Structure 1
Amino acid sequence: MTRQPGTGVRELRTAADLLRTLESGCYTLPELYQLAERAGLADRADGRRIIQDGQEQYKRRIRSALQSLRRQGRARQDDDQSAAWLIEGTTARPRRALLLWLPGDPGQAELVLGAAATVLAQADEPIDLIVADPPYALGRGEHRSAYRRTYGRDHSQVLGGYIDVDPAAYADWTAEWIAAAGAALRPGGYLAVITGGQQAARVQVAAEDIAGLTYVNSIAVKRPFGLYSTRRYVHAHHRVTLMTRGPLDSPQRVFDRPTEMPRGRTGQIYAVDVWTDIPDERRPGLLRYDNALHPALVSRLVRSTTRRGDLVCDPFLGSGTTLVTCLSEGRRFLGGDLNPEALRFAMGRVLAEIIPALRPAVEQLALFDAHEVPA
């Protein structure tokens, strides 16, 4: 792995970097069962009892067992590794992944391999915010697509496996996953869908007519480099369709105006629906996923519509920007994708780039808590 000078943060530069990161920061289920046995979990009350899924009861307790071992320092692999992913499947094709990290609950971040509706159905509780950047049906994953010809970047550093949607099936597909999103939201929760202008109307109609959601905003986010055209206006913005479950005046609906937004004449925050300050997301010289949102965009959505500890879901995980944002902003996360490479990239990105950056602040907080004296 490569270290950025002066930052102590690792960067994913190649597929080999990604693989090494995952190999050093993942536990498979068989390994976890062995750890649970060593911890004596299997011999606790009813631990060996066969339950409904045909397995022993203690295997349902494996998450807490690993968390306990990590607190004791017995599951640490090296001094530089402060987090690990518990995976079902393999590092090449994870079916499910759970982030285990000492500062928080073991369920603070979970990834699922599957379609959007499947991911949304995995939530154990109503979701506070769903951030979705669905495929645009542009043929991104096809070798001869206009997208790949127009954006002639070095695709040797782009992970493969991107799964697009058949344009002819887009309406039905949109209706299916948005119906699942509406059912998964809590009253007052939000659905924020990032699309191009062409699909924004379809998203809003499906959210209103099928999912029964209420319109909140249509946010225009400036794109620094729109696709050049001589036959129509250049598409120079993304659209964020923001919907909520329930009426606009519901006391359950959170809205905190972002402090970085413009100010009125008397100093009040003027939260406008045109965002011109979001940069394009680039990773020059680094391994990257096929497409990515800039963290500033997702951070603004998360901070304005949720509170710390709330549950955020991204059913189109992609490069893991929403996951990264939630870890940074103290939100719990559930996400997924049809592409196993998306899960792998997001997992490696967290271990290599995010945890090292967050660790100093977390360690400082832990030190403060340890020395806190009750009044």
Structure 2
Amino acid sequence: MTISAAIVGGTGYTGLELLRLLAGHPQVSLEVITSRAQAGQPVSAVYPNLRGHVDLAFSPPDPAVLAGCDVVFFATPNGTAMEMAPALVEQGVRVIDLGADFRIRDLGVWSHWYGMDHACPALAAEAVYGLPEYGREAIRQARLVANPGCYPTAVQLGFLPLLEGGLVATDTLIADAKSGASGAGRVPKPHTLLCEAGENFHAYGASGHRHLPEIRQGLERAAAQPVGLTFVPHLVPMIRGIHATLYGRLRDPAVDLQAVYERRFADEPFVDVLPPGSHPETRSVRGSNMVRIAVHRPEGGDMALVLAVEDNLVKGAAGQAVQNMNLMLGLRETLGLQGISVLP
């Protein structure tokens, strides 16, 4: 079986990563890559690493052409997918949105954080949140998947075993997360310029970040109760990677955290629970769809400390989208995603 695929918005970093992964997927045929600004330009002229692998040119988005594909990925600014997805879904196309248009169930909350009214509330209610480690069976049946954000993926997976097991107090969770500059996208911004980001390290969004409601929604689903979360993101001077340091106060300090995590993720192909005492590094997941997790109980106290790393462009975006596509279309979940991380 060959899957015909289209990418709407192929010139950003997540679009590039989708191109790289889908070009190497053994059961995918890339048919369409859209970009209004680069229309007519060969993909390899914009991204020379794809020369010899992607023999397509960018084209303007044409709904009729997109409707002829089995799956359409939206790697577009927030607000784009919700305008185009309804017609595609009604024509039987599977849709995966890498933006935030369908991630948050409460559309009032969504509008508050994204500054616009939602264009298709009915489809938003149907959309399935695409975190396979939590909702795999729902993803298999979905017509539309909301691909999780990069920070939300690391934070949710790190906290998941603690919340599902009722092992921590839910009112004082803390997520201290760091991201490389590619998380801000390809459009130049002053704070991501080399002279600004290099040799520098700073927090941002400390009083409120748009990923906060998405993270809280996922944690509350896992805990089956309200969750109090302090989330602080940081920009670090590297290109790729997220490191999330997570804190939760244990209800029973005697619990074997290592065993809890190993048991919860034993059958997950893209979650690697490291041996006791480990400290995962972002470079260990560069270019891969893997999340590596280590769990600690500092000084034998009542605090659970979880360390989680991922590549923000792969498991935090494009790789997870391909993982979701595999599930939606009945393919082996790991297909096209088993590449080894790049070192150094």
Quickly name the TM-score band, shorter chain normalised: 0.3 to 0.5
Higher relative contact order (CA 8 A, sep 6+): 1
State which structure, 1 or 2, has the greater radius of gyration over its C-alpha atoms. 1
State TM-score, norm by structure 2.
0.34
State TM-score, norm by structure 1.
0.32
